[in-house]
């Protein structure tokens, strides 16, 4: 029996340390890149009439680019065979004797495109783990540096691969191993990985966040991540050529958005769905009635009907602006909004849900959230101002949260 390395699902896939939480935009980018790669590879296999093994032999063929320049159509085939590498010759001779396929130069161009997609996919995966930029949690950004390298885990006579730099590979493996150990630790302790990750983040950011927030442990883990990564990001933008602070403002605003969503709107959706879990038809009729009684709540009714708990900061402000007012006709007309109001005030006191704070939140959204998300430019002065405003709201949320 051969001693070749084998892929075993239980040992490789089931125990693999996948990232625990992924932002929608990041996972969407990874999905689209993966689909693009599979489509290109499938088309290339069909057009070249090669199996995957032979295609990847060419992907890792270090001589392919140089050899493509040596192949001239009017050269004698014996000269071509002598001038180019064995692997390049395998591709050239295959294409010459195979009908309805690419020319050698066209095939080389397509293989180069597949290499670029391979790089793009690696970078997308790196972004999912959050290792594409400097963080205090994981360390400096990993520079993958794709190129041809001799890898030490393959036989000496076949070690050259188009892959990431050996130092990058070691760092990726080191972090995956650490992540695997942390996931195991969370399982042994009977807590979620997000809870463990929160502990790790809190250890690192205790002094930094604790310098402006009395109870950072009260924040949702993802809120802490947004704050922490935002504070990591700000200094790096000082040296960027674009001098745009949009990424920081977007990240920091996401902390506020996540805290409200995680504490109020996601639990509200869960509560409503539990109430109607055995009566889908009754739920639909009830929501339709509520929309007819109060047109302003159409968006919330639509979300509840679809079991969609995603609300933007602007959406959430809209509904907070309805419930703070004791004379609100919408609250008076809709039992749904009455229930939502009761739920929201069971989470946060009037110290946060009041006319003045909700108005300040509206001003904040228009000045910072909309500017960062759309066309307005964001300089450092505006970024620092945004930081102060987010911290003010986060402090207020923590102070007004009802235990």
Ramachandran assignment for 186, one of left (phi > 0), alpha (psi -120 to 50 degrees), beta (any other): alpha
Find the mean pLDDT for residues 340-348: 98
Calpha distance 108→72 (Å, rounded) = 14
- Over 70: is that where the pLDDT of 39 sits? yes
Q: What is the pLDDT of residue 372?
A: 57
Across 39-43, 216-220, 224-228, 374-378, least confident range: 374-378
Q: What is the pLDDT of residue 10?
A: 81
Q: What is the pLDDT of residue 12?
A: 82
* Highest averaged pLDDT of the listed ranges 14-23, 75-84, 295-304: 295-304
Ramachandran assignment for 99, one of left (phi > 0), alpha (psi -120 to 50 degrees), beta (any other): beta
Calpha distance 150→159 (Å, rounded) = 5
- Over 60: is that where the pLDDT of 1 sits? no
For the chain, the distance separating the N- and C-terminal CA atoms, rounded to the nearest angstrom, is: 63
Q: What is the pLDDT of residue 217?
A: 86
Task: Locate 243 and state its tokens.
Answer: 């001098």
Find the mean pLDDT for residues 218-234: 86
Find the mean pLDDT for residues 249-276: 96
Calpha distance 97→363 (Å, rounded) = 70
Closest CA to 363 of 328, 313, 402, 304: 313
Find the mean pLDDT for residues 325-340: 96
pTM of the predicted model over 0.75:
no
For residue 150, the cross-strand partners are 160
Q: What is the pLDDT of residue 145?
A: 97
Cα 98 vs. chain centroid, distance in angstroms?
Answer: 43
The average confidence (pLDDT) of the chain is 91
Share of the chain above pLDDT 90, in %: 68
- Over 90: is that where the pLDDT of 281 sits? yes
Contact 132, 142 (CB under 8 A): yes
Find the mean pLDDT for residues 300-307: 96
Closest CA to 346 of 276, 248, 264: 264
Where do the H-state alpha helices sit in 84-192? 86-97, 104-129, 166-189
Handedness of CA 290, 296, 302, 305 (dihedral sign): negative
């Amino acid at each position: 029996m051969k001693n070749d390395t084998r892929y075993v699902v239980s040992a490789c896939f089931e125990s693999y340390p996948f990232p625990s939480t992924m932002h929608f935009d990041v996972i969407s980018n990874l999905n689209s890149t993966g689909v693009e790669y599979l489509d290109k590879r499938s088309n290339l296999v069909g057009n070249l009439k090669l199996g995957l093994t032979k295609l990847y032999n060419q992907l890792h063929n270090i001589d392919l680019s140089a050899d493509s320049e040596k192949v001239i159509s009017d050269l004698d085939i014996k000269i071509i065979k002598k001038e180019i590498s064995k692997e390049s010759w395998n591709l050239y001779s295959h294409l010459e004797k195979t009908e309805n396929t690419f020319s050698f130069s066209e095939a080389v161009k397509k293989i180069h495109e597949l290499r670029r997609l391979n790089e793009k996919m690696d970078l997308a995966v790196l972004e999912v783990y959050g290792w594409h930029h400097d963080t205090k949690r994981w360390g400096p950004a990993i520079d993958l540096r794709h190129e041809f390298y001799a890898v030490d885990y393959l036989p000496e006579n076949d070690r050259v691969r188009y892959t990431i730099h050996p130092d990058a590979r070691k760092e990726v493996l080191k972090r995956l191993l650490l992540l695997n150990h942390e996931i195991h630790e969370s399982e042994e302790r009977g807590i979620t990985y997000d809870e463990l990750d929160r502990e790790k983040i809190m250890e690192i950011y205790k002094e930094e966040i604790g310098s402006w927030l009395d109870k950072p442990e009260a924040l949702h883990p993802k809120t802490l991540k947004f704050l922490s990564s935002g504070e990591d990001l700000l200094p790096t933008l000082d040296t960027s050529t674009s001098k745009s602070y949009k990424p920081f403002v977007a990240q920091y605003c996401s902390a506020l958005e996540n805290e409200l969503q995680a504490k109020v709107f996601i639990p509200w959706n869960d509560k409503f769905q539990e109430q109607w879990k055995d009566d889908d038809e009754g739920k639909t009729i009830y929501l339709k009635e509520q929309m007819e009684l109060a047109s302003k709540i159409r968006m919330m009714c639509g979300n509840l009907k679809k079991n969609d708990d995603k609300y933007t900061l602007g959406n959430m402000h809209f509904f907070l602006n309805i419930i703070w007012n004791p004379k609100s006709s919408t609250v008076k007309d809709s039992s749904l909004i009455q229930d939502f109001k009761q739920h929201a005030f069971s989470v946060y006191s009037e110290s946060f849900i009041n006319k003045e704070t909700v108005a300040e939140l509206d001003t904040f959204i228009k000045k910072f959230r909309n500017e960062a998300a759309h066309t307005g430019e964001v300089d450092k002065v505006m970024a620092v101002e945004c930081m102060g405003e987010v911290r003010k709201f986060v402090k207020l949320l923590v102070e007004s949260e009802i235990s």
